[in-house]
Amino acid sequence: MLQVSNIREHKEAYIQALKKRNFEAQEIFDEILQLDEMRRSTQTKLDNTLAESNKLSKEIGQLFKNGEKQKANLLKEKTGRLKENSKNYSELLANTIAEMEKHLYSIPNIPHQDVPAGTSEEDNEEVYKEGEVPVLAEGALPHWELAKKYDIIDFELGNKITGAGFPVYKGKGARLQRALITYFLDKAVEAGYTEFQLPLMVNEASGYGTGQLPDKEGQMYHITADDLYMIPTAEVPITNMYRNNLLAEKDFPITCTGYTPCFRREAGSYGAHVRGLNRLHQFDKVELVRIEKPENSYAALDGMVEHIKHLLKELKLPYRILRLCGGDLGFTSAMTYDFEVFSTAQDHWLEISSVSNFETFQANRLKLRYKDAEGNKQLVHTLNGSALALPRVLAGILENYQTPEGIKIPEVLVPYMGFEFIN
């Protein structure tokens, strides 16, 4: 969430920056600043009324003490009117703040200056590519056919139990899934991240804290009886561990990792591009989260990118990195890099990770600050990235590692698997 003080100070610059997102901010900024003027004016009136009421209360006490009951009663009538005024001012203040926050929650983050303009994924900027696309034998299969051939993932059984988008991993498929989770966690811990096991449901405050609410409310599974939400990513519970915290400089950097299942409704997702593991309602992911001082956050973002590059190099999967344009940038992000693995059997790129710097956008919602060397309270920067989301990594392994003898296990995963082929 943007800070009102920053909107006031950088209004024209923010309006131009948000045009990269195709978001017209002039009208809503004007409304917010008008509401903020009303808030400040009402707060002043409330403070003055309360101060006068407190002053009169002391005078009334002294008058009663001196036996001047008539004067005291006259002042009591005045304090009654002041209390009624203060109640009205309090209600007006609360309503004004609520209306202002409603507007603020609807505004996306300001994109970083290096974010390219654009309207869709077609305008994303490729910044890196690595790995040779394997030449597959004639008759190579997409992963959903391989899953059926080797009996390692059962999409129909998942549909029977729950519905489409909830696959059942079997035998060596389940073993491969577990191996990837453990490998990703081991690499994160090796890189200095602290591992957490996390709740799979969060409350509404947590959803608002990281920006899933109200923006992505329709994409989250909502347990209405308890007003809880199934997590769409481990980013939500990890980052919310620090909600309402005041950090010290010695606490930085804060680096967290966690494996969780993730749940997304993905309403309206149909067609061949979402077949098999390409898009699911429940999937596994290992997440990285960092909380940084503002001056260090973009170096931290580069470090997260390098970490994911290392994973893909070890898995020997052909991949590329895209810097997202304004029109494809997530609501809360100031800059995002997407990693995509090339699916040889499907002949297209599959997104397998997003790494983002949110700058102060989440921290302002979370009321997450630190005290600098001068004792001033400053908002932190928050970052997160998938390292990695499993379904499309698994799809890439199945398709790119298929041979006439079976599916070869990537060398780095063999110690976790205990065998070299799925056949």
Do 162 and 307 sit in the same domain of this protein? Answer: yes
* Gap between the Cα atoms of 14 and 113, Å rounded: 11
Task: Note whether 352 and 339 are within 8 A (CB).
Answer: yes
111: in domain: no
DSSP 232: S
CATH of residue 346's domain is 3.30.930.10
Instruction: Extract the residue ranges of the chain whose pLDDT is less than 50.
Output: none
* Gap between the Cα atoms of 183 and 202, Å rounded: 27
Do 208 and 341 sit in the same domain of this protein? Answer: yes
CATH of residue 49's domain is 1.10.287.40
What is the model's pLDDT at position 271?
A: 53
What is the model's pLDDT at position 270?
A: 53
Last residue of a domain, one of 77, 105, 133: 105
Q: Is 406 exposed, middle or buried (0-12, 13-18, 19+ CB in 10 A)?
A: middle
Do 141 and 65 sit in the same domain of this protein? Answer: no
Q: Which two tokens stand for residue 354?
A: 């997003």
Do 235 and 93 sit in the same domain of this protein? Answer: no
Going through 87-200 in order, the beta strands assigned E by DSSP cover 125-130, 153-154, 168-169, 194-196
Do 151 and 286 sit in the same domain of this protein? Answer: yes
What is the model's pLDDT at position 215?
A: 82
What is the model's pLDDT at position 137?
A: 84
Do 101 and 126 sit in the same domain of this protein? Answer: no
Name beta bridge partners: 377: 371
Dihedral of alpha carbons 36, 40, 45, 51, sign:
positive
For the chain, the domain total comes to: 2
Do 93 and 133 sit in the same domain of this protein? Answer: no
What is the model's pLDDT at position 70?
A: 82
Overall pTM > 0.75: yes
Q: What angle do CA 16, 324, 359 make, to 5 degrees?
A: 65
* Gap between the Cα atoms of 275 and 7, Å rounded: 43
- Residue-number span of the structural domain to which 305 is assigned: 121-422
Amino acid letter for position 384: N
Dihedral of alpha carbons 393, 399, 400, 401, sign:
positive
Do 255 and 367 sit in the same domain of this protein? Answer: yes
Number of other residues whose CB lies within 10 A of the CB of residue 205: 13
pLDDT tens for 359-418 read: 999 999 999 999 998 999 999 999 999 999 999 999 999 999 999 999 999 999 999 999
229: in domain: yes
390: Cα within 13 Å, side-chain hemisphere: 26
Do 246 and 361 sit in the same domain of this protein? Answer: yes
* Gap between the Cα atoms of 231 and 237, Å rounded: 8
Last residue of a domain, one of 41, 76, 105: 105
* Gap between the Cα atoms of 261 and 396, Å rounded: 19
* Gap between the Cα atoms of 296 and 313, Å rounded: 26
Do 307 and 348 sit in the same domain of this protein? Answer: yes
Task: Note whether 209 and 291 are within 8 A (CB).
Answer: no
Q: How far is CA 377 from CA 8, 293, 307, 367, 371, in A?
A: 20, 12, 31, 11, 5
110: in domain: no
Do 229 and 299 sit in the same domain of this protein? Answer: yes
Q: Which two tokens stand for residue 106?
A: 């609807």
Q: How far is CA 173 from CA 239, 288, 408, in A?
A: 31, 25, 13
112: in domain: no
In the block, tokens 């065998």 appear at 419
Do 67 and 185 sit in the same domain of this protein? Answer: no
Last residue of a domain, one of 105, 140, 173: 105
* Gap between the Cα atoms of 91 and 98, Å rounded: 11
Residue closest to 126 by CA, chosen among 319, 395, 381: 319
116: in domain: no
